[in-house]
């Protein structure tokens, strides 16, 4: 779970999901940024659907099945996001 670099308090899963897009500490209210290493790890989640596209073509799933699988994978990715995110006080470049 992420830890605020200003106040040092650990966020809960629910607090992380609530502040996922703005990353404002629920305890001290200071703006936090996702670290570069965390963004790189999170980008792996984007690759999962791209890997599943050829599998979909191979097994010839119907559109409905693909949509259901996409929704399931989206919920799994959002649910796991709080476990991989690391925070920083300032925005870090990728390199």
Cα–Cα nearest to 94, from 50, 43, 60: 43
Q: Report whether pLDDT(95) > 70.
A: no
Tokens of 93: 């470049």
- Give 5-53 pLDDT, tens digit per residue: 888 889 999 988 888 888 888 888 888 988 888 888 878 777 777 777 7
In angstroms, how far is the first alpha carbon of the chain from the final one? 24
Q: What is the pTM of this model?
A: 0.66
Residue 80 has pLDDT above 80, yes or no: yes
């Amino acid at each position: 779970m992420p830890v605020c670099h200003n106040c040092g308090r650990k966020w809960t899963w629910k607090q992380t999901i609530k502040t996922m897009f703005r990353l404002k500490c629920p305890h001290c209210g200071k703006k936090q940024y996702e670290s570069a290493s965390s963004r790189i790890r999170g980008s792996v989640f984007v690759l999962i659907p791209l890997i599943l596209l050829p599998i979909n073509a191979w097994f010839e799933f119907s559109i409905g099945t693909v949509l259901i699988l996409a929704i399931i994978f989206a919920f799994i990715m959002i649910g796991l996001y709080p476990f991989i995110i690391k925070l920083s006080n300032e925005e870090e470049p990728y390199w």
